[in-house]
């Protein structure tokens, strides 16, 4: 490349990152600030309802129909009786929990014919947001630049507790202060949580997980990724623990459902709880992700998935036991592969470097700026350079060691052992912990297979040993390895032959009679002694170093974030996702993933039949769906003789947005967000409007499955359906 072309390349590269439009479909925006930051742009793009219809604390609004589902998904209320829609993969654990080999709801689906048939889901909750309030000024009055990070964090903790308590006095709500923009802003979020949530319906996996891992993160997509639940309340419509006396919750708002469909260019909005993004990190952190963290995590998960897949093919029982585990491991594995590919192909690191060049120029021209920010980028570089070996070791401990079930399960007994061997025993805590561990036995062993986990131990320990230097392993580990001459198969066989953690009956007996002397017995168990040696060493030599690094990175990132906003005063910044309520908006749009390839913006049932492979685990199709297809019996959900399945748009989404309502310009539900395209998974770090697309399950396919396939008309009758 000659000098002129090289210079032109970097000019174009920089323009893409620094001078791009404030509104390029990118952004996960505060709903309470939409009028101030986004109102005009949203109206220009086609929004027909008012911003107050989207978010309001003075009247019911769309926010009152959006819930945090469980710990990491979104759901939406779609009837006046608390009916809730989310993704099949969000409800997967509950569907699996209620399944048995005889009544396999994962395989065959589940539909409650009447309300009395809806299944309780212990431990599942949904949370509504009541209000979001800026309290940054209160923190700015007490936080100073002279404070150490420890002093700052202690002050934040104390003040947050005071603000949270005051915010909900006499209301029955909960409150939590959350930090935004790397700790430069603070908001108190008032919420209401309901704990009686019941499973209403789920399609069979051949619909709800059609395409399996092959199609995950891909387009075109044909997955009917939905499940249905209902929120229950006490007779006063307030949150309550499960009771047969509870009644369906009457929500403040519910989504009307529009079945007229979408066309290219239509306005769309996603309302939900995106989990985590890192849009404003330095090039040094992105380099660490691309060249160290993701490749290492992928390598270990390659092996974990190989072992799980081999086991799951052996029997229906094993398939059911490991379905949720395999899905969880695979989801991150494929996402990291796509993310790495996208960041490399889009020159993500170079774009960050170009922004840093401009940041240094901006800073160097002003003494006060230089005083404030001069150490930020050099400090970040130094930290990542010095800690790469520890970050690498951390990856292998997390993915390999703690990916072995027998070791993770044994490690969970640490608290119980410590309580019983304490110099000042607390009988109440001891009894509570013992009860918790006893209650967890059946759930753990229900989805556990010894041969599968033995293979996991044999393979993952070998990978760990080859990838982590001896200086970052405990001597107990290297001594045992040497004793077995590096024969990890033989080592693993010994662990499984002698450990108590492979037998539910022995575990129940052992726990029921647990005493202070039991701690000594635990220390002799090969699984327990191994994980205690590994976890103690990990905490002392690896985790403490990585956590200490993270604290300093957090301080520098806070300064870098403040500097970026100061440098670009005319740009509207959105905060990184942190599982708080956000709005993303864009338009229905096709895309060109690579040379000479164009992907249309929608898929149909025709595509399902094109992919259909009889008897295939991922691409089989239920006989009734085939029959409906052959008859073209689509009811009112077809368009031009075809049944729509999914569509893509330019909304900026991430994990946590699974299950989010996808809304049209009139504030009506048109689909459920469930994925992103593989080429655009880099959007957690670098959003590219040309190829980043969210994938939405068209609401017409959802209704078709409920109505025509499952025949559960009572659910259709609950909804407000419009054209």
Among 25, 64, 225, 576, the one annotated catalytic: 225
CA 518 from chain center: how many Å? 38
Virtual CA dihedral for 259, 264, 268, 273, nearest 10 degrees?
Answer: 100
- Tokens in use for 357? 């060049």
Q: 57 to each of 32, 132, 160, 172, 661, how far by Cα in Å?
A: 9, 9, 22, 17, 20
- Tokens in use for 179? 């930090």
Looking up tokens 């963290």 gives 293
Give the separation between CA 171 and CA 20, rounded to whole angstroms. 45
Among 25, 61, 64, 89, the one annotated catalytic: 89
Give the separation between CA 306 and CA 700, rounded to whole angstroms. 36
Residue 588 contacts residue 663 (beta carbons within 8 Å): no
- Tokens in use for 129? 């947001």
Which H or E run includes 714? helix 713-718
Q: Is the dihedral of CA 592, 25, 213, 393 positive or negative?
A: positive
Among 282, 459, 658, 683, the one annotated catalytic: 658
CA 320-326-331 angle, 5° bins: 135
Give the separation between CA 531 and CA 476, rounded to whole angstroms. 10
Give the separation between CA 15 and CA 8, rounded to whole angstroms. 11
Give the separation between CA 21 and CA 45, rounded to whole angstroms. 14
Whether cis (ω within 30° of 0) applies to the bond prior to 220 is: yes
Count of residues making up the chain: 723
| Burial zone of 339 (CB within 10 Å; 0-12 exposed, 13-18 middle, 19+ buried) | buried
| Burial zone of 435 (CB within 10 Å; 0-12 exposed, 13-18 middle, 19+ buried) | exposed
Whether 658 sits among the annotated catalytic residues: the reply is yes
Residue 570 contacts residue 271 (beta carbons within 8 Å): no
Give the separation between CA 460 and CA 612, rounded to whole angstroms. 35
Whether 572 sits among the annotated catalytic residues: the reply is no
Whether 465 sits among the annotated catalytic residues: the reply is no
Give the separation between CA 100 and CA 90, rounded to whole angstroms. 19
Q: What is the largest CA-CA distance in the chain?
A: 79
Looking up tokens 């025709």 gives 606
- Considering only CA atoms, which of 223, 221, 201, 227 is closest in space to residue 210? 223
Give the separation between CA 370 and CA 598, rounded to whole angstroms. 47
Strands 247-248, 227-233: pairing is antiparallel
Q: 192 to each of 131, 189, 291, 452, how far by Cα in Å?
A: 10, 10, 42, 41
Q: Is the dihedral of CA 157, 159, 162, 164 positive or negative?
A: negative
H helices within 484-543, ranges in order? 488-498, 504-512, 518-524, 526-537
- Considering only CA atoms, which of 230, 354, 212 is closest in space to residue 282? 354
Strands 591-594, 597-599: pairing is antiparallel
Residue 106 contacts residue 205 (beta carbons within 8 Å): yes
Give the separation between CA 559 and CA 556, rounded to whole angstroms. 5
- According to DSSP, the residues that pair with 269 across neighbouring strands are 585, 663
**Residues forming the active site:** 89, 225, 658
């Amino acid at each position: 490349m000659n000098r002129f072309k090289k210079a032109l390349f970097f000019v174009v590269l920089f323009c893409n990152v620094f001078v791009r439009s404030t509104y390029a479909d990118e952004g996960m925006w505060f709903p309470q600030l939409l009028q101030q930051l986004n109102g005009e742009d949203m109206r220009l793009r086609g929004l027909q309802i008012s911003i107050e219809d989207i978010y309001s604390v003075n009247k019911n609004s769309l926010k009152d129909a959006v819930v945090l589902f469980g710990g990491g998904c979104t759901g939406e209320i779609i009837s006046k009786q608390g009916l809730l829609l989310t993704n099949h993969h969000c409800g997967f654990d509950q569907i699996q929990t209620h399944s048995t080999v005889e009544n396999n709801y994962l395989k065959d689906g589940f539909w409650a014919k009447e309300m009395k048939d809806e299944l309780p889901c212990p431990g599942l909750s949904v949370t509504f947001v009541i209000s979001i309030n800026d309290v940054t000024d209160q923190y700015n009055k007490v936080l100073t630049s002279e404070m150490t990070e420890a002093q700052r964090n202690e002050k934040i903790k104390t003040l947050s507790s005071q603000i949270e308590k005051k915010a909900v006095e006499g209301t029955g709500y909960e409150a939590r202060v959350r930090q935004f923009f790397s700790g430069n802003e603070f908001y108190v979020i008032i919420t209401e949580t309901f704990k009686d949530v019941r499973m209403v319906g789920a399609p069979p996996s051949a619909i709800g997980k059609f395409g399996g891992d092959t199609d995950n993160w891909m387009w075109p997509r044909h997955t009917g990724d939905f499940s249905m639940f209902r929120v229950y309340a006490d007779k006063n419509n307030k949150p309550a623990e499960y009771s047969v006396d509870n009644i369906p919750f009457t929500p403040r708002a519910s989504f009307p459902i529009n079945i007229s469909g979408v066309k290219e260019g239509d306005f769309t909005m996603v309302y939900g709880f995106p989990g985590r993004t890192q849009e404003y990190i330095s090039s040094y952190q992105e380099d660490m992700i691309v060249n160290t963290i993701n490749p290492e995590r992928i390598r270990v998960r390659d092996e974990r998935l190989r072992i799980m897949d081999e086991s799951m093919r052996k029997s229906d029982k094993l398939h059911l036991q490991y379905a949720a585990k395999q899905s969880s491991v695979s989801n991150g594995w494929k996402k990291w592969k796509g993310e790495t590919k996208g960041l490399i192909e889009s020159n993500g690191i170079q774009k960050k470097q170009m922004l840093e060049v401009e940041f240094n120029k901006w800073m160097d021209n002003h003494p006060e700026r230089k005083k404030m920010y001069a150490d930020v980028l050099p400090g970040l570089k130094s930290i990542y350079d010095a800690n790469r070996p520890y970050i690498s070791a951390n990856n292998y401990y997390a993915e390999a060691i703690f990916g072995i079930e027998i070791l993770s399960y044994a490690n969970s007994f640490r608290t119980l052992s410590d309580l019983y061997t304490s110099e000042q025993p607390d009988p109440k805590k001891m009894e509570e912990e013992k009860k918790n561990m006893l209650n967890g036995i059946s759930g753990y062993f229900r989805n556990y297979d010894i041969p599968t986990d033995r293979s996991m131990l044999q393979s993952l320990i070998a990978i760990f040993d080859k990838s982590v230097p001896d200086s970052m392993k405990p001597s107990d580990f290297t001594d045992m390895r040497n004793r077995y001459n590096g024969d990890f198969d033989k080592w693993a066989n010994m662990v499984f032959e002698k450990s108590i953690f492979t037998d539910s009956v022995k575990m129940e007996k052992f726990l029921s009679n647990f005493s202070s002397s039991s701690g000594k017995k635990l220390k002799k168990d090969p699984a327990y002694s191994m994980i205690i040696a590994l976890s103690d060493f990990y905490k002392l030599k690896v985790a403490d170093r990585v956590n200490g690094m993270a604290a300093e990175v957090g301080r520098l990132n806070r300064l870098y974030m403040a500097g970026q906003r100061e440098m670009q005063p005319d740009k509207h910044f959105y905060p990184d996702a942190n599982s708080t309520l956000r709005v993303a908006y864009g338009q229905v749009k096709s895309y060109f993933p690579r040379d000479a390839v164009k992907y249309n913006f929608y898929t149909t049932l025709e595509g399902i039949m094109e992919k259909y492979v009889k008897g295939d685990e991922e691409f089989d199709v239920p006989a009734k769906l085939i029959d409906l297809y052959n008859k073209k019996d689509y009811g009112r959900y077809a368009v031009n003789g075809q049944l729509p399945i999914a569509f893509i748009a330019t909304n900026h989404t991430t994990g946590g947005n699974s299950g989010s309502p996808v809304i049209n310009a009139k504030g009506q539900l048109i689909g459920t967000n469930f994925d992103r395209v593989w080429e655009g998974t880099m959007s957690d770090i670098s959003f590219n409007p040309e190829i980043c697309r969210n994938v939405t399950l068209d609401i017409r396919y959802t209704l078709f499955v409920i109505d025509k396939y499952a025949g559960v008309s009572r659910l259709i009758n609950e909804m407000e359906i419009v054209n």
